A = this chain, B = another copy of it.
Amino acid sequence: MAEETKPAVPPAENPAADAEAAGPSKKAAKKAEAKAKKEALKAQRAAERIAVASTSNEPEEDPARDFYGPATPALLKSFSADAEDVTLRSISESHIGKKVVIRAWLQNTRMQGAKMAFVELREEGNWAIQGIVAATGDAKEGDSTPVISKRMVKWAGAVNPESFVTVEAKVEKPFAPVKSCRVSDFELHISKIFVISAAPATLGMTLAAANRAVTNFSDEEVKPEEGAQEKEAEGGPPAASMLTHLDNIVMHKRSPVQQAIADIRVEVKHLFRDYLRERGFKEFEPPCLIGAASEGGAGVFSMPYFNQTAYLAQSPQFYKQFEIAGGRKRVFSIGPVFRAENSNTPRHMTEFTGLDLEMEIRKDYHEVLSVLEGVLLHIFRGIEKNCAAEIEVVRSVYPSPEILLPEPGKELRLTFAEAQKLLREEGPEEFRNVRDDEDMSTPQEKALGALIREKYKTDFFAVDKFPDSARPFYAKVDPASDPKEPVTNAFDMFLRGQEILSGGERIADPDELEARIRYKGVDPTSAGIKEYIGVFREAGVPPHGGGGIGLDRVVAWYLALPSVHLAAYYPRTPKRLLP
C-alpha cells in the first residue's frame, strides 16, 4: 500500500471565494489576510467533504452501523477483548497480525474509489501511521471478520481533519515503507473508527500551513509578502504570520516543527538540570514578586501590592547570591524573569525562562566559567545526540548550517580586548575603531561570531574580562587590571554570534560592594540596595560567581530560528498577552 502515501494535508489548490465571507471592514482590517485564507480553505473543504452529522443518520440496515460514528460510552466498550491498547510509537514487529486500539488525531483522509479510504493518524511528537478502511462483502454466517460497508468507508473518508478518534485495527506490514509517516514500517487495517472529539469542517490554520516557516514576526498584521502567491503556486499551502499562528494556537502547537522545537526545549532543561545536579548544585526558587526595583529600575514591571508597590524580578541575581550567603555551595534555578522593555523585535520578549546558577569559588572565578562552558556544551552535544530526529524536522522548515562545536578541552576563550583587536584587525571596515573600554553592540557580536567561525571553526565561545563600564555593580573588578582601564572578572558566551549567557565573579565583601555601588552612581541606601548590601554584612560570605542563560534564546539560536518567539510556548510581547 506504500504507493498510496501522500503529503499530510492536500495542497490548497483552486481556493474559491466563499459567499459567506464578508469583505474586510475598517475595524477588521488587521485580520483581513488571515480571514481570507480561512474562508478560502473553508470553501474548499465544503466542496470536498460531507458533513459527519448527515452520514451518522444512516438507515439502520447498514450492517457496519456499530463500527463507526461519533463515540458513545457503549460503542467505546465494544472493542474486542483481545485488542491491545497501544500508542503509535510503541508499535513493533510483535504486533503484526494482531488487533490494537489506538487513540489519535486523524490528520488526513483520502478516498480511493468508493471502497477504500486512507486515513493518517497522529499522536504526540509527530508519530503518524497510515490506516486503511476497506469495504468487505456482506457478513456470512459463521464468519467473524467484521463487516465494513461502503457507507462506513465513505464516512471515514469524510471525518474532519484534526478530529480526535479511536480505532480498532489489525497491524500489518505495508508493501513498502510509508514515507509520509514517522511510523513507516506498519499500517493499520481499521475495523472500527469512532470520533471522540470532532474538529470543525474548516480549520483556522491547516496542519500543513502551520508547518511552514512563519513569514512575519511583527506584532502588526501586514499584507502578504510579494512572492507569497508564487510560493503557493509552487505547491503547499500559504505560509502564515506569527499573529495567525498565535490566533490558532492549537494548530500552531500540533505542527511537527513546533512539536520538535518543544521536545528540544524540554531536553535542554533536562540536560541543564542533570549536569548541575551531578555536580552538587541544589535547585531553588527565587521569588518573582520583589519589594524594590533594585536592578536598574528601568524596564521593570510594577503593580499595586496591598499598601505598597511590588515589582517583577528581572533576574534571580540577588537571590542566587543570598542562597550562597545562606549556606549553599552551589545552586541553580529555572524560572520566569520579566522585562518591561517596549522592544518589538524577534529577539525580545517581556517574559522568558532563565536558567541560572551560582557557586562558591574555591580558587579562581574561571571555575565558574568552566562549569558554564561545561553545561552549555553538555546541552549542545546532548540535543545533537538525543534530539537528532527533532533537529531534522526543524531544519526541514527552518534550514540552518551545521553547528560547529569545540572538541572537549579545546573550548575557545578570548579576552574582551582580544575580541576587539580581532574585530579591528580582521573585521568589517565599520569596526576598525572599536574600543576596549566600551561594550559590544549586537552587529559587533554578529561580526565577531562570523570571524571566529571562520578562523577557529567554532560557533560557541566565551569572551572574558569585560570592561568595567559594561558590567553592573555586583561584578568583581579584576584586582590585577589597570586601575585606569579596569576590567571585570565577568564574561559572556556566544552561540552563532549571539549572546546566550552572562556571568562572572560577584563582590562578596560588603565594603567593596558599597563602594562599587556608589562608584556606579547608585545610592547604597536606596530601597532594595540597602537590604542587598546588608545580606553581606550579616555574616561571612565566600567568594562566589555564576551566570544566567536565556532558555528561549539557547533553543532559538541553536536551531537558528528566525525568532525567539518560536522557541517559547506562549510568547509575551509588548502587544500580545494572548493566548
Q: Compute how far the CA of A291 lies from the CA of B286 in the bound complex, rounded to whole angstroms.
A: 24
Q: Is the CB of B531 within 8 A of A351?
A: no
Q: Compute how far the CA of A170 lies from the CA of B277 in the bound complex, rounded to whole angstroms.
A: 30
Does A196 make an interface contact (CB < 8 A)? yes
Contacts of A74 in B (CB 8 A): none
A306 in complex: contacting residue of B303, B312, B326, B574, CB < 8 Å: B574
Q: Compute how far the CA of A312 lies from the CA of B301 in the bound complex, rounded to whole angstroms.
A: 11
Q: Is the CB of A163 within 8 A of B540?
A: yes
Q: How does the 8 Å CB contact mask read for A286-303 relative to B, with 1 for contact and 0 for none?
A: 111111100000000111
Q: Compute how far the CA of A35 lies from the CA of B381 in the bound complex, rounded to whole angstroms.
A: 54
Q: Compute how far the CA of A572 lies from the CA of B270 in the bound complex, rounded to whole angstroms.
A: 28
User: A396 to nearest B CB, angstroms?
Assistant: 18
Chain A, range 208-251, C-beta contacts under 8 Å to B = 248-251
The segment out of A12-20, A252-260, A383-391, A454-462 that lies at the interface is A252-260
Of A270, A277, A284, A292, which is in contact with the most chain B CB atoms at under 10 Å from its CB?
Answer: A284
User: A253 to nearest B CB, angstroms?
Assistant: 3
Contacts of A426 in B (CB 8 A): none
Q: Compute how far the CA of A249 lies from the CA of B328 in the bound complex, rounded to whole angstroms.
A: 13
Q: Is the CB of B572 within 8 A of A540?
A: no
A85-B362, A288-B351, A302-B303 as given contacts; A329 in contact with B283, CB under 8 Å: no
Does A380 make an interface contact (CB < 8 A)? no
Q: Is the CB of A200 within 8 A of B537?
A: yes
Q: How does the 8 Å CB contact mask read for A148-177 relative to B, with 1 for contact and 0 for none?
A: 000000000000101111000000000000
Q: Is the CB of A578 within 8 A of B540?
A: no
Of A124, A270, A307, which is in contact with the most chain B CB atoms at under 10 Å from its CB?
Answer: A124
Known interface pairs A253-B325, A289-B572, A336-B336; 8 further A-B residue pairs with C-beta atoms within 8 A, sorted by A's residue number: A103-B360, A249-B322, A250-B327, A253-B328, A270-B277, A287-B572, A310-B577, A319-B570
State the 7 A-B residue pairs at the shortest beta-carbon distance, nearest first: A253-B326, A291-B577, A303-B303, A197-B540, A162-B539, A164-B540, A250-B538
What are 17 A-B pairs with beta-carbon distances under 8 A?
A: A103-B362, A124-B327, A162-B539, A196-B543, A197-B543, A199-B538, A199-B539, A200-B539, A249-B538, A250-B325, A252-B326, A253-B325, A302-B304, A305-B577, A306-B342, A336-B336, A531-B578
